[in-house]
A and B are shown apart, each in its own frame.
Chain A
Amino acid sequence: MSQSTFDIEKKVTTEKLRFKPKSKGYIPRGATFLAVVIIILMLAIILGNIIFGGAGTISVKFLTHPPEQGMEAGGIFPAIFGTVFLVLLMVIAVVPVGVLTAIYLHEYTSPTSKITKIIRVAINNLAGVPSIVFGLFGLGFFVGFIGDGIDSLFYNSEGPVWGQPAIIWASLTLALLTLPVVIVSTEEALRTIPSELKDASYALGGTKLQTITRIIIPQALPGILTGSILAISRGAGEVAPIMFTGVAYYLPYLPAKLNDQFMELGYHIYVMATQSPDVEATKPILFGTVLVLLVLTFMLNFVAIYLRSRMRRKRVRV
């Protein structure tokens, strides 16, 4: 009855199991290291090039004055202003929708339900759509459909009022593009909230809504903030989605109304590099503009990383 497993007869003697000698693994280590070197080198070349080319251009005047002489002189203030305005509108549009979507997905549906799966696939697909497609969609939907619709319903004027490229349509197009970023990082934040906290709220007679507004959202706030900043740094650099929906080559005035056109840093770089009458003459300004855009984006990313690490440190013990 109590037969040991060692009583089973060995069919294969230990001598027959001759293992292959192994190499010391220099090749995989070398190959992976080489890949890292290439990446770092590329990054260094790009950054070095931009900093050397652009640092000399940066001055107070450059940051606070409009372009002059067909963009061969002057500053980029309207483009900075337009970028900030654009991104601000985008945040106002994308954060509430993204946060509410994440809350719906995480708190109101079961993760295994069919509808949740379909919505998740849709969000992932949204994240994978090329940005030029968003631009065309924005032109067709926001400018053509919504804008023209408003014009024909509420305005009898000759020319278009809302049915033309404008900062509001560009920012909504960007909001659509950055929606997945906000949804994903908010959901990530929601996942880190221990269920014990929600249980405690329910057990004290809190309703679902009270639990969400008093416990869940305050806990998820750093994550929501991180998502918003990642969305900003993504949106601030995009050119394709705004190309048809509102950005202008050059404007003598700053945008003041939602249906004004605007200048933007990324697009400004594009026009200076390709459309300017004398590309060579605009080169220093071009480099300077790229540097400003990069610094702006890096700064936003740093803030996002800082907030996220703070959130991890301050996170409630589970």
Chain B
Amino acid sequence: MYAYDESIEAMDKEIKEVPAKKNSGLPDYKMTVDNLNFWYGSNKVLHDVSINVVKNKVTALIGPSGCGKSTFLRTLNRMNETIPGTRMEGMVRLDDADIYNDVGDPSHIRTRIGMVFQKSNPFPKSIFDNVAYGLRVNGIKEKQLVTDVVQESLRRAALWDEVKDILDHSAYTLSGGQQQRLCIARALAIRPEVILMDEPASALDPISTSRIEDLIGELKREYTIVIVTHNMQQAARVSDFTGFFYQGNLIEYGNTKEIFTRPKIKRTEDYVTGRFG
């Protein structure tokens, strides 16, 4: 209906050499993780984590500091490989493809599995160039196409009205909450299938936080979202599924309502009711 629909198609052709999607028999699972183990040097931080991420749902990962939930999140798009001295075992699949074996350069899989970080981390560039960055590094140069995708991404991140007249200003002129929405817009611009969010609102004030949460609710219509959060109310508000991590183990994983109201495991109950952590 608008120009961007064509641009989606163009981008799909140009930047996504998607490995052929076969019917896996697990149509609801966007990502599956089997027996994931992870080490920093000789320090093992994840123990046999297995989880299925359901398509077009929000999956929240909760747990006390240092429980491995952020590390786990970063294994889902191979971000941990940028840290020297780490080692991983196990299988992570996106649809049917083993993301650690099926595709060549790890940068490729990250165009399909995007990420938003805890601290908003815009580049020291203009607002426009921040959103366009992902397109440009993936070889999209055509001006009109880039402009359309930037505009569309900013709209989807509910930032367009605030920045439409200052696209050439430095991203650092924005407030913290706006910067984080810019980072979300930037992640949306490369049209990922999955968006990983590592405590995306932990550094924001309550109003900005609620805007981000509303946004997550909108985004799940098109994207599969995995969010790490310290804030249990947030997990309860935004997520459909919740996994509880403790000391590198996935203790319990299930429907968010169940986890928060009828957890099966005592430790989960202690955590979600605030008895520890």
Contact = CB atoms under 8 A, between A and B. Distances in A.
Are A and B genuine complex partners? yes
B123 A205 contact: no
| Chain A, interface SS category | helix
B187 interface: yes
A219 B190 CA distance: 24
A199 B190 contact: no
Contacts of B82: 198-199, 202
B194 to A, nearest CB: 12
A316 interface: yes
Given A110-B85, A198-B82, A317-B172, A204 B121 contact: no
Interface in A178-198: 194, 196-198
A215 B123 contact: yes
B220 interface: no
A28 to B, nearest CB: 44
B85 A207 contact: no
Given A110-B84, A110-B85, A203 B123 contact: no
A205 B121 CA distance: 15
A207 B137 contact: yes
Contact of A204 (B85, B106, B124, B134): B134
B137 A203 contact: no
A277 to B, nearest CB: 60
Nearest to A316: B124
A200 B108 contact: no
B115 A206 contact: no
A196 B137 contact: no
Contacts of B110: 202-205
B189 to A, nearest CB: 8
Contacts of B115: 199, 203
A201 B105 contact: no
Interface string B111-144: 1001101010111100000000110011000000
Nearest to A110: B84
Given A110-B85, A200-B123, A205 B117 contact: no
Contact of A203 (B85, B114, B124): B114
Nearest to B124: A316
Contacts of A156: none
B36 interface: no
Contacts of B57: none
A214 B183 contact: no
Nearest to A213: B137
A205 B138 contact: yes
A49 interface: no
A214 B79 CA distance: 19
Contacts of A196: 117, 119, 121
B237 to A, nearest CB: 25
A309 interface: no
A112 interface: yes
Count chain A CB atoms within 10 A of each CB in B106, B111, B133 and give the residue with the most. B133
A286 to B, nearest CB: 49
Contacts of B138: 205
Interface string B72-97: 00000101001011000000000000
A26 to B, nearest CB: 49
B90 to A, nearest CB: 21
B117 A199 contact: yes
B127 to A, nearest CB: 14
Count chain B CB atoms within 10 A of each CB in A196, A205, A214, A215 and give the residue with the most. A205
A204 to B, nearest CB: 4
In the A-B complex, list the 6 residue pairs whose CB atoms are closest, starting with the nearest.
A110-B84, A204-B134, A196-B121, A205-B111, A203-B115, A206-B137
14 contacts: A197-B124, A199-B79, A199-B115, A200-B186, A202-B106, A204-B114, A204-B190, A205-B107, A205-B190, A206-B134, A207-B105, A207-B107, A207-B137, A214-B133
Given A204-B133, A204-B186, A208-B107, 13 more contacts: A110-B85, A196-B119, A199-B121, A200-B117, A200-B121, A203-B110, A204-B114, A204-B137, A205-B134, A205-B137, A205-B138, A207-B107, A218-B124
